[in-house]
Amino acid sequence: MSNVTLSVKGLKKEIKGKKIIKGIDFELKEGEVFGFLGPNGSGKTTTIRMIVGLIKPTAGSVEICGYDIQKNFTRAMENLGCIVENPELYPYLTGWENLKLFSGMMKEIKERRLQEVVQLVGLTKRINDKVSTYSLGMKQRLGIAQALLGKPKILILDEPTNGLDPSGIREMRELIKFLATSENLSVFVSSHLLSEIQLMCDRVAIISNGAVLKVGEVRSLMSEQEELLWRVSPIEEAMTVFTLLEVEARVFGEYISTPYREEDVGEWNRKLVERGVTVTEITRKVPALEELFLQLTGGESID
Ligand SMILES: Nc1ncnc2c1ncn2[C@@H]1O[C@H](COP(=O)(O)OP(=O)(O)OP(=O)(O)O)[C@@H](O)[C@H]1O
């Protein structure tokens, strides 16, 4: 997992004097799902458009498998598959015909590869049906199949679960994780939903206002356990109650800290009150990643 496939350094974009991307850096490694998380308007799409060569950076560099996109564009792009806006599909053709047409525009794609990508995205049964009969999730998967035809090392997906129903979201998430592990692909996924990133990514970069605020492993950013802080009186009596309940509790200044267990909070509170403890406040302390994202979004875009 240590081979770097994509390296973004000091990337900036200014449009009409407005600094949209303010010098961002991150790397993608082989076989990982990398989340690009930020509220709407934070600069995710602009960054992606620069990575895939749709717009030119004002400054900085993008290297794909060691090829600088400014100097070696074709070589760089051979290693990259992407769906930036909606995938280009012809609804009156079948899935297979769409793939065939698309592969005709690329060099040396064998029929065998077409079959492989169809299988990878789980469309074998429906591939000979017209695309107009596909669900949005199936269209997205066909788009991913197209993007995989040239055996890229990196797959870039801009908000891949947007507009999908819950089962479509789950399937897309599973597919993304599967592609990273089974094909050793680096998958770059942008999203404005923290919950999505938590469920499918190994690492995450958080972008706000055109700047990357944090890059890190999702697991370590999440590992800070969720806690409950109890403001209670008297503290000693409350500690006795938690001990009797076999809850791991510790005194924390004027508070008692316990693990957060949604299903038990009511019961613990009742037991405290029964023993004559006054509970004046119960606060849930969220993990670092969620807290940071809540601050960025003002709590609005979070699921
Ligand atoms: N061509 C442009 N001209 C002027 N401003 C632009 C242009 N493209 C993007 N912007 C501005 O740059 C900022 C970042 O936009 P961008 O689309 O990259 O954000 P985003 O994170 O992808 O959000 P969303 O998910 O809403 O698309 C926004 O404020 C947007 O209005």
> What pLDDT shows up at residue 299?
56
Protein residues with CB under 6 Å of any ligand 1 atom: 15, 20, 38, 40-46, 192
List phi, psi (to 5°) of 266.
Answer: -60, -45
Rounded average pLDDT per 10-residue block, the chain, 303 residues? 87 94 95 93 94 94 95 93 81 95 83 92 95 94 94 94 90 94 94 88 93 87 78 95 94 87 92 95 80 67 40
What's the burial of 248, exposed, middle or buried (CB within 10 Å: 0-12/13-18/19+)?
exposed
Dist. CA 210 → ligand 1 center (Å): 9
Domains of the chain by range and CATH? Answer: 4-222 (3.40.50.300), 227-286 (3.30.70)
Dist. CA 298 → ligand 1 center (Å): 19
Amino acid at 17: G
Taking alpha carbons only, the member of 178, 183, 139, 181 closest to residue 160 is: 139
Dist. CA 47 → ligand 1 center (Å): 9
ipTM for the complex shown = 0.92
* Phi/psi-derived region of residue 99, left when phi > 0, alpha when psi is between -120 and 50, beta in every other case: alpha
User: Which ligand 1 atom is the nearest neighbour of the CA of 43?
Assistant: 18
pTM for this predicted structure: 0.79
Query: Whose Cα sits closest to atom 18 in ligand 1?
Result: 43
Query: Whose Cα sits closest to atom 14 in ligand 1?
Result: 43
> What pLDDT shows up at residue 301?
40
> What pLDDT shows up at residue 223?
65
Dist. CA 67 → ligand 1 center (Å): 27
> What pLDDT shows up at residue 244?
95
